[in-house]
A and B are shown apart, each in its own frame.
Chain A
């Protein structure tokens, strides 16, 4: 581990920023700047850049989160619709009577008693788990040392698990 040379001015700026104080209003920063006025531009560039960060409505990491959230919601809505329909059918709630036809191999999967779905989204440094079961939605964000291949900062992985408990027709 290499050491970074001490820079009192930059350290004072960081200290003010960490405390959410405007660095140029900080006495220590102003005192140090008075000794090195040529560094004002460097400090202003940093502050301007950080201001842009605050105002930036959609940063890359946030875009990824938004996309993952939208995908997860769409998946859940789709699955919820499918499960409701499937359950309705298996419980005999279909409005139109089934067509009578010649006997054929049974494809009946039975009646769904319970179902549970879990969507896991992983990004570098973060793991998000969305759990959905009947009537409950649980979201859990775990900051874990998720390693991406070759430290690829744009890497993301999502997996979906669906489990159902059914009663087969007798």
Chain B
């Protein structure tokens, strides 16, 4: 078994991933057609999740394409669960699922930290599939207010971007 040489810093991995994105996107265009952007996102998310498995001494393109093939298979398996059509599994990285108790607990813990209005809007949009206009109509808030709550909820949920406004603001 070959030894995996991890990247020293996540910044370096980020740099390599971003640099590879145009080529990966073009390759996915041929593999996945109209779904290329969705697959690209899934591939990068999975690569990031399993970044410790990346051997930094190897070009990142091959590793990403391996993940991409697995992502593509998983997407089709979900859409059409027929094992005969899938062939060999070249990639062994598992797909993270929310049914994993630890992941579910993590997301529930993050949701609990949101303000009720933020959580409500976030779930209506991302889980229930309502549009911002529909949420605004249901809640009787202006579209801009719903957007603000939604954006703040995403950032509070994940800690991304600049610090959100204080709790008292509505």
Q: Give A residues with C-beta under 8 Å from B.
A: 1-5, 7, 9-10, 13-14, 17-18, 21-26, 30, 33-34, 37-57, 59-62, 123-126, 141, 143, 148, 151, 153
Prevailing SS type, chain B contact patch:
helix
Residues of A within 8 A of B37 (CB): 21-22, 24-26
- Bound together, the chains give a CA A153 to CA B38 distance in angstroms of 34
Contact of A124 among B96, B111, B116, B122 (CB under 8 A): B116
- B102 nearest CB across to chain A (Å): 11
Q: Is B45 an interface residue (CB 8 A)?
A: yes
Contact of B154 among A14, A61, A143 (CB under 8 A): A14
Tier of interface size on chain B: 35 or more
- B107 adjacent to A56 (CB under 8 Å): yes
Q: Considering the complex, which residues of chain B in the window 71-104 have a beta carbon less than 8 Å from any beta carbon of chain A?
A: 96-99, 103-104
Nearest A residue (CB) for B98: A55
- B110 adjacent to A14 (CB under 8 Å): no
Q: With contacts A38-B15, A148-B116 known, is A59 near B123, CB below 8 A?
A: yes
Q: Considering the complex, which residues of chain B in the window 1-54 have a beta carbon less than 8 Å from any beta carbon of chain A?
A: 10-11, 13-15, 17-19, 21-22, 25, 36-38, 40-41, 44-45, 48-49
Q: Is B68 an interface residue (CB 8 A)?
A: no
Residues of A within 8 A of B117 (CB): 124-125
Q: Is B162 an interface residue (CB 8 A)?
A: yes
- B169 adjacent to A2 (CB under 8 Å): yes
- Bound together, the chains give a CA A123 to CA B120 distance in angstroms of 11
Residue picked from B106, B114, B157, most chain A C-beta under 10 Å: B157
- A60 adjacent to B45 (CB under 8 Å): no
- A55 adjacent to B17 (CB under 8 Å): no
- B160 nearest CB across to chain A (Å): 4
Residues of B within 8 A of A62 (CB): 123, 127
Can you list 17 residue pairs at the A/B interface with Cβ under 8 Å? A10-B155, A22-B37, A24-B21, A24-B40, A25-B40, A26-B37, A38-B10, A38-B11, A40-B48, A47-B41, A49-B107, A49-B110, A53-B107, A53-B122, A53-B157, A57-B99, A126-B120
- B115 nearest CB across to chain A (Å): 7
- Bound together, the chains give a CA A112 to CA B103 distance in angstroms of 53
- A37 adjacent to B120 (CB under 8 Å): no
Q: Is B119 an interface residue (CB 8 A)?
A: yes
Q: Is B62 an interface residue (CB 8 A)?
A: no
Q: Is B58 an interface residue (CB 8 A)?
A: no
Contact of A10 among B106, B116, B161, B166 (CB under 8 A): B161
- Bound together, the chains give a CA A117 to CA B158 distance in angstroms of 43
- A35 nearest CB across to chain B (Å): 9
- Bound together, the chains give a CA A20 to CA B113 distance in angstroms of 25
